[in-house]
Amino acid sequence: MTQRFPLPREDREFTAVQDVSFDIGGGEFVSIVGPSGCGKSTLLGLIAGLVPISAGHISLDGQPVDGVNARLGFVFQRDALFPWKTVAQNVGLPLLFRGVDAASARPRVADWIARIGLTGFERYHPHQLSGGMRKRVALAMTMVYEPQIVLMDEPFGALDVQTRNLMENDLLEIWAQSRRTVVFVTHDLEEAIALSDRIVVMTASPGRVKAVYTISLPRPRSVTEIRFHPDFGRLYETIWKDLKDEVRVGYERSRQGLAG
Amino acid sequence: MLATSGVDKVSRAEVYLWRVVLLGAFLILWEAATRRGWVDPFFVSQPTVLAMQIADWIRTGFIFRHLVVTMQETIIGFLLGTLLGVAVGFLFAHWETLARIFDPLMVALNAMPRVVLAPLFILWFGLGLLSKVVMVVSLVFFVVFFSTYTGIREVDRDLVNNARILGASPRHMIRHVLLPSALTWIFASLRTSVGFALIGAVVGEYLGSHEGMGYVISYAESMFNATGVLAGLLVLMAAVIAIDIGLQRLDARFSYWKPVPK
């Protein structure tokens, strides 16, 4: 697939991603890594059906993507919580949208609030929570309607390292229980290796697939401990060799104001 | 109330004390200046005379009749203007084409000084309530329209996308995303639009009416009665302060979900 955007006030188009093609198996945890501006987020927007595709096609379970798919979840880079709703209302919102009646929604909401460890915070508003807590609410909000595919756009980027590791472990645990397909965008290679089954490395803008790596580290993993696994360093070194040229190209371009 | 940074350490009580002291000093100076003949009370009246005038108005109930008329015009005009502003704002934010077609008209209409239109409104709608309500609507509408329009256009894209992913129907989108988001903007402009509403009503009355606070002031002026003018202004001022305090309470009720401003 290829995605182009018209550039405002210019007579040419900006190509965000070009000739990108890969398959993701059901229940797989795949990370997409690449330098900033390589079109990682664009890719997720396309898979989610938020943006119409310029050329090529994407299919989910054999069905072409045209518009937002109800079986899909999306965790945004910034936690997109509804500030005027409480924690419980936020988590219950997708159920409300999907016409689940209040009586059967309530236990599901309570269950997820318990799973993210926020029991007792049901009536708080997002601004009263810490960044990590908000992120957990966003995660519960996505998981509560049990989407088969979960797209995550650098979800933990804004968190401090400790909170981040805790959240990554929580995510792995949730994933292990339900085995949903996860497509995880990040620029952090360590995070990608620690979490994923496979890693797609993208080139600098316009983003193409540079390489795909299979991560055969043992599961269940703990993101803090897996880093000491003998294979971890070797994998990191191999993939970083690929990534570092792209990062340099991306950086040079962004300095010249060419990369988006 | 002015926004303060809160860096100084003066206590609330001290601030209030200073306010009372300064106001007292001003009133005493005013009273003394007129009594000693430094200034002619014909032009600036006198605090004691003003106080007696207002007390007299309250005792006879004269002022309440006029205040009620002004408040009626303000409230009816304000509600109509707000309703219209929200509706048109929503419409324009929803249908981009409509907004593009009418954009110059809206800007032009908003740029027109409404106060100058007041005589026309009186000509068209008579000396009574209607002309004042139209005047108020013409002022309030634009404030509310622009904030609703901006509020909906500036709604967080991530929130809209998130709602779409979570399965929101267009009705859900309005009810759970667009309206709450626009409400914060509308509330932010509420104090401005209420102020405009009162100005609209009073100016309308001032230019042509036989009742209301604007009429009281205009009548006193025509009699060269500085006391009447100033007393009328003082009563209006008190009304505005009362409304403003009410609005602050209301705003606090509706912004429960917002962080407390530091």
How many beta-carbon pairs below 8 A join chains A and B?
53
Q: How far apart are CA B21 and CA B219, in angstroms?
A: 34
Architecture of domain A3-71+148-255: 3-Layer(aba) Sandwich (3.40)
List of residues 6+ apart from A78 with CB closer than 8 A: A158, B158
pLDDT category of residue B7 using cuts at 50, 70 and 90:
low
Q: Is the ipTM of this complex over 0.90?
A: no
Scan for tokens 């590791």, then name that residue.
Answer: A165
Q: Which two tokens stand for residue B97?
A: 């084409």
**Among partner residues A50, A78, A93, which is closest to B166 by beta-carbon distance?**
A93
CATH number of B40-254: 1.10.3720.10
B166 and A83 in contact by Cβ < 8 A? no
A48 and B165 in contact by Cβ < 8 A? yes
> CB distance from B261 to chain A under 8 Å?
no
> CB distance from B177 to chain A under 8 Å?
yes
Q: How far apart are CA A196 and CA A211, in angstroms?
A: 15
A127 and B257 in contact by Cβ < 8 A? yes
Looking at the DSSP bridge assignments, the partners of residue A207 are A17
Q: Quick: pLDDT tens for B71-83.
A: 999 999 999 999 9
* Minimum Cα–Cα distance from A81: chain B residue: B159
A80 and B172 in contact by Cβ < 8 A? no
B162 and A80 in contact by Cβ < 8 A? yes
DSSP state of A66: -
B165 and A97 in contact by Cβ < 8 A? no
Q: Which residues of chain A have pLDDT under 70?
A: 1-2, 5-12, 257-260
User: Which residues of chain A have a CB within 8 Å of the CB of B156?
Assistant: 80
> CB distance from B156 to chain A under 8 Å?
yes
> CB distance from B99 to chain A under 8 Å?
no
Phi-psi region of A224 (alpha: psi -120 to 50; beta: other; left: phi over 0): alpha
pLDDT at B240 over 60: yes
A84, A112, A128, A142: best to mutate for the B interface, most B CBs within 10 A: A84
Strands, E assignment, A18-58:
29-33
A125 and B257 in contact by Cβ < 8 A? yes
Domain boundaries, chain A: 3-71+148-255, 82-147
**Among partner residues A76, A96, A97, which is closest to B158 by beta-carbon distance?**
A76
Tell me the whole-structure pTM to 2 decimals: 0.76
Q: Quick: pLDDT tens for A181-240.
A: 999 999 889 999 999 999 999 888 788 888 899 998 988 888 888 989 999 999 999 999
B166 and A48 in contact by Cβ < 8 A? no
Q: Which two tokens stand for residue A190?
A: 């360590």
> CB distance from A71 to chain B under 8 Å?
no
Neighbours of A188 (CB within 10 A): 15
Domain boundaries, chain B: 6-39, 40-254
